[in-house]
Copies of this chain bind each other. A is one copy, B any other.
Amino acid sequence: MEARVLDKQADGDVDIYWDFRRRLISAHFEPGLKLKPEELRLQYGCSASQLREILFRLSCDGLVEFQDNKGFKVPLASLELCNEAVEHRILIECEGARLSIEKGGLEWEAQLAAAHHKLAHVENKFKADQNSKELFDMWCECEWEFHETLISRCGSSLLIRKHRDIYDLHRMHMLAVSEGSGFRQDNIKEHLNILNAALDRDVEACQKGLANHLHKSG
């Protein structure tokens, strides 16, 4: 249940839940699209009831919309909701960063530097070829890893869980609203600013960098 990366087709539910979640936040489904358990079951080789359970769970995080007797839908693109998600993510992530800067040690610095190194590498490659689906997926993974690592030493498993929730919600709405890949040239500079501020243990600068980065991301 906790694994973000799918581990094969060992456990029925788990794979389907996480695979479907990943597809949702990667804009594999058009906003407003109806999600029928009866149809989706064919893609995953399970029953409609199982899909229904999974869709209910995803609806808790706002990743799918549910209406009684009307079934499930991919949430409509909404600039307002996207903005609310941005603000909430800033709130959570700035707090997580502050705590990590206070509590994190050399090991954390090293992990953050490593995550940023990978991210920067992928971003530079992606900058050159923004049409590559493979690079886009890689960028999504690296972006997540960097931001997750940034808050990883906050000391609160609850905050980490809530951060993942809002990160995914934000990403989904951002992609739905912008209709682009979500990648901007300035990302590279902004990520570097955040990294440097974190390594300098400068809470103010780090939070400012984060807020700026996320606001511009839309």
Instruction: Report A24 CB to chain B, min CB distance, Å.
Output: 15
* Residue A85 at the chain B interface, CB threshold 8 Å: yes
Q: What DSSP secondary structure best describes chain A's contact surface?
A: helix
Instruction: Report A94 CB to chain B, min CB distance, Å.
Output: 10
* Residue A13 at the chain B interface, CB threshold 8 Å: yes
Q: Give this chain's copy count.
A: 2
Binding-face segment, A109-117, A142-150, A152-160, A203-211? A152-160
A161: nearest chain-B partner, CB-CB: B62
Binding-face segment, A53-61, A123-131, A183-191? A53-61
Give the residues from 156 to 202 in chain A that come closer than 8 angstroms, CB to CB, to chain B: 156-159, 161-162
> How many angstroms between the C-alpha atoms of A51 and B95 in the bound complex?
36
> How many angstroms between the C-alpha atoms of A59 and B57 in the bound complex?
8
Q: Which 10 A-B pairs have the closest CB atoms?
A: A60-B60, A84-B158, A84-B156, A56-B57, A88-B158, A53-B56, A91-B95, A57-B60, A53-B53, A56-B56
Q: What are 13 A-B contacts defined by CB distance under 8 Å? A: A1-B67, A11-B68, A12-B68, A13-B68, A52-B53, A56-B57, A60-B60, A62-B158, A62-B161, A88-B158, A88-B159, A88-B162, A162-B162
Residues of A within 8 A of B (CB): 1, 11-14, 49, 52-53, 56-57, 59-62, 66-68, 81, 84-85, 87-88, 91-92, 95, 156-159, 161-162
